[in-house]
Amino acid sequence: MPIYEFYCAPCNTLFSYFSKSVNTTKTPTCPKCTNLLKRQVSLFACIDSSQKDSGSEELPFDESRLEGAMTKLAAEADKLDDSDPRQAARLMRMFSDMTGVKLGDGMQEALTRLEAGQDPDAIESEMGDILQSEDPFQPGQTKSRGKKPAPLRDETLYDL
């Protein structure tokens, strides 16, 4: 049961919507101003044992740059053909380029193989151990861009 995030530009606010099933087409209106909301790609966290022990809350990338990239990538993801792994690989490379988050060697090899048209299941069976043992993302150098303030986050969970 997914939770989708939507952004209202006039309110500069992110809203979370709960759906009882996967729904990639429905777009609600803003609960505050009734403008049509724009679907966002939700951020996620990946915690490994080194992060648990360090007690550090610092992100290894520029969060505002990541949010901008995620917005652009969401538009690309809407056009993605799920049956074409080359498109998924291209999207992952775009993510890396736009955010400055570098991909690990194993992930680079897997993407290269996907782009060459190799079967994703074969790649998974041959590289599964490598991909699971390495951190797929390695922080790169990012520059902070002085844009509008980060959006507010409405903590209410709305029904989609």
Tell me the pLDDT tens digit for each residue of 43-62. Answer: 555 555 554 444 444 445 55
Q: 14 and 27: one domain?
A: yes
What letters, b where the CB count within 10 A reaches 16 and e where it falls short, cover 40-53?
A: bbeeeeeeeeeeee
Looking at the domain assignment, is residue 56 inside a domain? Answer: no
Residue type at 160 in one-letter notation: L
Looking at the domain assignment, is residue 58 inside a domain? Answer: no
pLDDT of residue 48: 53
Q: 35 and 100: one domain?
A: no
Cβ pair 136, 104 in contact under 8 A: yes
Cβ pair 140, 100 in contact under 8 A: yes
Q: 140 and 153: one domain?
A: no
What's the pTM value of the predicted model, to 2 decimals?
Answer: 0.44
Looking at the domain assignment, is residue 99 inside a domain? Answer: yes
Domain range holding 19?
1-49+149-160
Q: 160 and 115: one domain?
A: no
Q: 69 and 138: one domain?
A: yes
Question: Between the CA of residue 154 and those of 5, 17, 147, 150, 151, what are the distances in Å?
Answer: 10, 11, 21, 13, 10
Tell me the pLDDT tens digit for each residue of 125-145. Answer: 888 777 777 766 665 433 344
Looking at the domain assignment, is residue 57 inside a domain? Answer: no
Q: 77 and 125: one domain?
A: yes
Looking at the domain assignment, is residue 54 inside a domain? Answer: no
Q: 38 and 15: one domain?
A: yes
Query: Which portions of the chain are predicted below pLDDT 70?
Result: 1, 23, 41-66, 135-148
Name the domain count of the chain: 2
Q: 35 and 21: one domain?
A: yes
Looking at the domain assignment, is residue 104 inside a domain? Answer: yes
Burial class (CB within 10 angstroms; exposed 0-12, middle 13-18, buried 19+) of 39 = buried
**Beta-ladder partners of 15:** 6
Element housing 51 (H / E): helix 49-54
Q: 89 and 138: one domain?
A: yes
